[in-house]
Amino acid sequence: MSSKESGSSLPQTWPHGGGIEAAARAWQCNVNEILDLSTGLHPDGAPDWLGEWLQAHAALVAHYPDIFGEPARTALADALNVKAASVLITAGAQAVIEVVFQAMGWRSLAIEVPCYNEPLRCAQRAGCRVEPFEHGERLPHAEALWWTSPHNPSGRKERFPDGWSGVLDESYMLFSERRSLGLMDGVIRLGSLTKSFCIPGLRIGYVIADAATIRKLDTWLPPWPSSTLALQLLDSLLPEADLRDAHVAVGRERLVVLLHKYRWRSNVSQASFVLAQAPALFIDFARYKILVREFPEWPQLKGWIRFGLPGSESDWQRLESALAQS
């Protein structure tokens, strides 16, 4: 089923969350004046001890990263109950999205839309035909399936469909759930760790797949999988994963209550963000220097906004002040 037949169309532009530097220029303010709720990063921010750790390990910037991603690869393999040969450490999940279509030789891809835009951009650039479908529609015929759980931007969680091969993007999945998946036949598990630990500047992600697929992907990636600092840091971060997941759940429920207070309609979410539909009155979030993720590229999401989770009480109060306009 083509995009024309399904009623879905693909965007011609590829906006993304973040862009805080550009927002600061547009709003004529400093970056630290902006409350960035556009990305789904963990509301607690980076660990409190990270600054001291970076200072103590500053000498690592003079060393090239290990080409096998150690010691992060072994630490993550142990945490996810798989063999190290089935783990590929990468510079964020995006590093794999950029090359997976060429590496796997896929000629067609089924993907639920609206969605995170980067798989669309990278598939089309690689000459891979995109077959979009919307939630609830029959999956179109394609060589591979791109499945995101929890889905971005809806936040909905669903298991990878039986009988398909492709990619499971688990970047927003609870870490406890990631531990239970193991190797999935024919499926490339793709994950980001920068969101859970709020370290996007350090760029660390991973692939879990059979050893042959790992080798195939690795040939398309640069020889250094991530920064030396990130590779050494991961083992110290992983013990905090479950507590951070619990904080996300609390913050998400609080956000839903706040949105409903001001008559926003929200999706049920299992991610670190909530997709919500605005009431009739337009809200000028820029006035409050709050960066949110709108979706001008997806007509289906007109009037919907994806909110990340505020961290501090002052951030919550600031968001409520903006919502009170409605």
Q: What is the pLDDT of residue 8?
A: 63
Question: CA-based angle 240:40:250, to the nearest 5?
Answer: 60
Residues 223 and 134 in one domain: yes
Q: What is the pLDDT of residue 15?
A: 81
Residues 198 and 277 in one domain: no
Q: What is the pLDDT of residue 155?
A: 97
Q: For residue 156, what is the domain's CATH number?
A: 3.40.640.10
Exposed, middle or buried: residue 228 (CB in 10 Å: 0-12, 13-18, 19+)? Answer: middle
Structural domain harbouring 133: 64-240
β-bridge pairing 293-294 and 187-192: unpaired
CA distances from 244 to 9, 43, 88, 173, 303 (A): 37, 9, 23, 12, 30
pLDDT tens string 186-198: 999 999 999 999 9
pLDDT at 78 over 90: yes
Nearest to 277 by CA among 260, 289, 254, 296: 260
Q: For residue 305, what is the domain's CATH number?
A: 3.90.1150.10
Q: What is the pLDDT of residue 184?
A: 97
| Residue % of the chain over a pLDDT of 90 | 91
Q: What is the pLDDT of residue 12?
A: 81
Residues 182 and 248 in one domain: no
Peptide bond into 71 cis (omega under 30): yes
Domain presence at residue 302: yes
Residues 30 and 148 in one domain: no
Residues 230 and 258 in one domain: no
pLDDT at 3 over 50: no
pLDDT at 9 over 70: yes
Residues 299 and 288 in one domain: yes
pLDDT tens string 221-274: 999 999 999 999 999 999 999 999 999 999 999 999 999 999 999 999 999 999
| Cα separation, 66 vs 281, whole angstroms | 53
Q: Which of 208, 224, 240 is the C-terminal boundary of a domain?
A: 240
pLDDT at 7 over 60: no
